[in-house]
Chain A
Amino acid sequence: MSAVISIREISKSYGELKALHDTSFQVEEGAVFGLIGPDGAGKTTLFRILATLILPDTGQATIGGLDVVKDYRKLRLKLGYMPGRFSLYQDLTVEENLGFFASVFGTTIRKNYDLIAPIYSQIEPFKSRRAGALSGGMKQKLALCCALIHRPEVLLLDEPGTGVDPVSRQEFWEMLATLKNEGITILVSTPNMDEAALCNKVALIQHGKILAEDQPEGIIQSFKNPLWAVRSENMYQLIKDLRMYDGAADCYAFGEYARLKLHPAPVELTTGDNASGQRQTEAAIKTYLQQKNHQKIEMFPAKATIEDCFIDLVSA
Chain B
Amino acid sequence: MGRFLAFIRKEFRHILRDRRTLLILFGMPVAQVLLFGFVLTNEIKNASIAVLDHSKDVETTALSNKLASSGYFHIDKNLASEQELEPAFRSGKIKLAVVFPPNFAENAGRDGAAVQLIGDASDPNTATTLINYANAIVLDFQREKAAASGANGGLFLINAETSMRYNPEQKGAFNFVPGVMTLILMLVSAMMTSITIAREKEMGTMEVLLVSPLRPLQIILGKTTPYLVLSMANAIVVVLLGIVVFGMPMRGSILLLAGECLLYMFVALSLGIFISTRAKDQMTAMFMSGLGLLMPTMLLSGFIFPRESMPKVLQYIGNIIPASWFNPIVKGIMIKGVGLEALWTHTIILGLMALVFLVLSLKNFKDRL
Do A86 and B204 have beta carbons less than 8 Å apart? Answer: yes
Do A100 and B6 have beta carbons less than 8 Å apart? Answer: yes
Interface size on B, residues (CB 8 A): 24
Binary flags per residue of B1-24, CB closer than 8 Å to A gives 1, else 0: 011011101100110011000000
A88 CA to B9 CA, complexed, in Å: 16
Q: Which residues of B contact A79 (CB under 8 A)?
A: 211
Interface set of B (CB-CB < 8 Å, partner A): 2-3, 5-7, 9-10, 13-14, 17-18, 203-205, 207-214, 368-369
Query: A51 interface residue, CB < 8 Å from B?
Result: yes
Do A54 and B368 have beta carbons less than 8 Å apart? Answer: yes
Known contacts: A83-B204, A86-B204, A89-B205. The answer to whether A55 contacts B7 by CB under 8 A is no
Chain A facing B: main interface SS: loop
Interface size on A, residues (CB 8 A): 29
Write the nearest CB–CB distance from A277 to chain B, whole angstroms. Answer: 54
Given contact pairs A92-B13, A92-B14, A103-B6, enumerate 20 new A-B contacts (beta carbons under 8 Å). Answer: A51-B211, A52-B211, A53-B211, A55-B368, A76-B213, A81-B211, A87-B205, A87-B207, A89-B10, A89-B14, A89-B205, A90-B203, A96-B10, A100-B7, A101-B208, A103-B2, A103-B5, A104-B6, A105-B213, A146-B208
Do B368 and A104 have beta carbons less than 8 Å apart? Answer: no
Task: Select A87's contact among B5, B10, B204, beta carbons within 8 Å.
Answer: B204
Do A99 and B6 have beta carbons less than 8 Å apart? Answer: yes
Task: Select A104's contact among B14, B207, B213, B369, beta carbons within 8 Å.
Answer: B213
Q: Which residues of A contact B213 (CB under 8 A)?
A: 73, 76-77, 104-106
Q: Which residues of A contact B18 (CB under 8 A)?
A: 91
Interface set of A (CB-CB < 8 Å, partner B): 48, 51-55, 73, 76-77, 79, 81, 83, 85-92, 96, 99-101, 103-106, 146
Q: Which residues of A contact B214 (CB under 8 A)?
A: 104
Do B7 and A104 have beta carbons less than 8 Å apart? Answer: yes
Task: Select A85's contact among B7, B9, B204, beta carbons within 8 Å.
Answer: B204
Do A53 and B7 have beta carbons less than 8 Å apart? Answer: no
Do A52 and B205 have beta carbons less than 8 Å apart? Answer: no
Known contacts: A103-B2, A104-B213, A104-B214. The answer to whether A83 contacts B10 by CB under 8 A is no
In the assembled complex, 5 residue pairs joining A and B whose CB atoms fall closer than 8 Å, in A order, are A87-B205, A91-B14, A96-B13, A101-B212, A103-B6
Considering only CB atoms, which chain A residue lies closest to B219 in the complex?
A104
Considering only CB atoms, which chain A residue lies closest to B10 in the complex?
A100
Write the nearest CB–CB distance from B153 to chain A, whole angstroms. Answer: 73
Considering only CB atoms, which chain A residue lies closest to B206 in the complex?
A87
A105 CA to B3 CA, complexed, in Å: 7
Q: Which residues of B contact A83 (CB under 8 A)?
A: 204, 207-208
Q: Which residues of A contact B212 (CB under 8 A)?
A: 76, 101, 104-105
Known contacts: A76-B213, A89-B10, A96-B10. The answer to whether A53 contacts B204 by CB under 8 A is no
